[in-house]
Chains A and B, each alone.
Chain A
């Protein structure tokens, strides 16, 4: 109990961020025409590749001789980058077609 209270006091700013981010996500998405569901899902998916930042932080702090860490981190970066670049590119391709026929 003590530790829970301590945790809340120490991280109250973080908790605010979490709660507001949840509301933000729900508000941003709640008014979307079905036409855009697939591109939106794909775009959101690209953003979830933001985890690439974690892998970069991991490698930057790694000991240059620690190959297990470096290799795992590099694989992590590569996987997340596929998610990011592929996600944005696919979304762009889908939206390109909407643009063309919209005029």
Chain B
């Protein structure tokens, strides 16, 4: 690896990664940024495949097989996935990256020559990559399962904090024990691997589905750090810088997302919506008012200003196109229609933006939290489509509520609120929403896509 041309080409790869990331953070340049980062990756792979090494046991056939297999699966999965299932997909991809770091670490441990000094930075690096990589792997798989509905939040272990503390101590203790051995003990490394994989599961399992965006972002930074750890094993600059940059970026993104919910990262990881008590007394039997399609359609038609609040329900019902159709029908009647996007609506930050963009909703129609809250008092009607926790006034009023303190969209300030929902079931955080029983609120039950379609045809007929 002392080849100066190789080192220089790797430097170019790193520059491409950084420029790519930078461009990805601006709307105008994002698409190019993604391509630039992709070119950087392609170059890094080519350089790694073709740099001259001494013993030349290149095994190119195996490399090609891996690349082709992974490339085809990855490409097909990316093309076939629905826009609504994007968060799950990202989580799954992320887990596979972690799995690769894990495999490298375990193989490199296996490869250590007999008589290796176990108390060395080399062994420590391998254990580190093994630990982070396996947590990222199983953690992402659990996060994927939670988003996909495979694991429900009810699957909570007793006293998760204590279990996780024990797991962490076990990992540290076992790692120390491995390093104190006189020689390589591969069996111990396999036990460590099993413990780390289990820790990934117990780490993510108690965290509520509502917090999955934060968890995925956190695990994404873990994968970056794991890649950097694997890079340290080989002293490979591209892996180290690329991995660490992504790790830092993921951490910042995670913190940004926590800020949007007015919670600390510690609180998300330790507390967890799902694990905490289901507060919000259901002692008072309240009845929600039900709206009919024709009433709602007429009200909408004669409004001056309508704000639509989309949530995960919109994604589930695949109703983004129906929603855009309704918006166009209303605009044709001279109604001013806007969308209010809560930063954590959906299952990922920006989830709603991606979804509405797919349905060709014009960019200026999307209002961010603060702008939306400024405009809500002058709004005639609010249509809440499959959103729940992000419009829950308990976040402002009820100090005992688990989401207390999270900034919400003040939809109650509008003249009328219509909530499109399948049933009265609570949202992902599992808490009652007093909004549904508010004086100005009416519920329009049913599948969102269906209801929106009916509303549109009623507006055309009325």
Contact = CB atoms under 8 A, between A and B. Distances in A.
Interface of A: 7, 14, 17-18, 21-26, 28-64, 68-70, 72-102
B316 interface: no
B contact patch SS: helix
26 contacts: A17-B240, A25-B248, A28-B22, A34-B343, A37-B349, A38-B348, A41-B216, A43-B21, A43-B34, A44-B21, A44-B220, A45-B97, A51-B100, A51-B226, A52-B45, A52-B100, A60-B58, A61-B55, A64-B59, A69-B107, A72-B103, A76-B103, A78-B73, A82-B73, A86-B78, A94-B86
Contacts, number: 370
Nearest to B244: A21
B71 A50 contact: no
Given A21-B240, A36-B26, 7 more contacts: A35-B27, A38-B87, A48-B220, A49-B41, A76-B107, A88-B41, A91-B34
Nearest to B51: A60
A98 B357 contact: yes
B220 A41 contact: yes
Contacts of B104: 51, 54-55, 58, 76
8 closest A-B pairs (Cβ-Cβ)?
A: A81-B70, A25-B248, A77-B66, A86-B74, A89-B78, A85-B74, A37-B349, A78-B70
Given A41-B348, A53-B45, A36 B70 contact: no
B249 A38 contact: no
Contact of B227 (A33, A51, A91, A98): A51
Contact of B97 (A7, A36, A59, A83): A83
B159 interface: no
A39 B350 contact: yes
Interface residues of B, number: 113
B75 interface: yes
Contact of B74 (A18, A38, A89): A89
Nearest to B369: A34
A16 to B, nearest CB: 11
Interface string B249-262: 11111001100100
Q: Which of B53, B79, B252, B368 has the most CB of A within 10 A?
A: B252
Contacts of B319: none
Interface stretch (B88-96, B203-211, B283-291, B409-417): B88-96
Interface stretch (B231-239, B293-301, B452-460): B231-239
B4 interface: no
Most A Cβ at <10 Å: residue of B44, B250, B350: B350
B129 to A, nearest CB: 9
Contacts of A32: 25, 253, 256
Interface stretch (B167-175, B359-367, B382-390): B359-367
A79 B96 contact: yes
Interface string B24-63: 1111101101110110010011001100010101110011
Nearest to A81: B70
B239 A50 contact: yes
Contacts of B227: 48-51, 54
A14 B224 contact: no
B81 A60 contact: no
B111 interface: yes
A75 B253 CA distance: 30
B63 A54 contact: no
B392 interface: no
B102 to A, nearest CB: 9
Contacts of B103: 55, 72-73, 75-76, 79
Contact of A38 (B31, B99, B111, B353): B353
B139 interface: no
Given A51-B101, A82-B93, A25 B239 contact: no
A40 B24 contact: yes
B394 interface: no
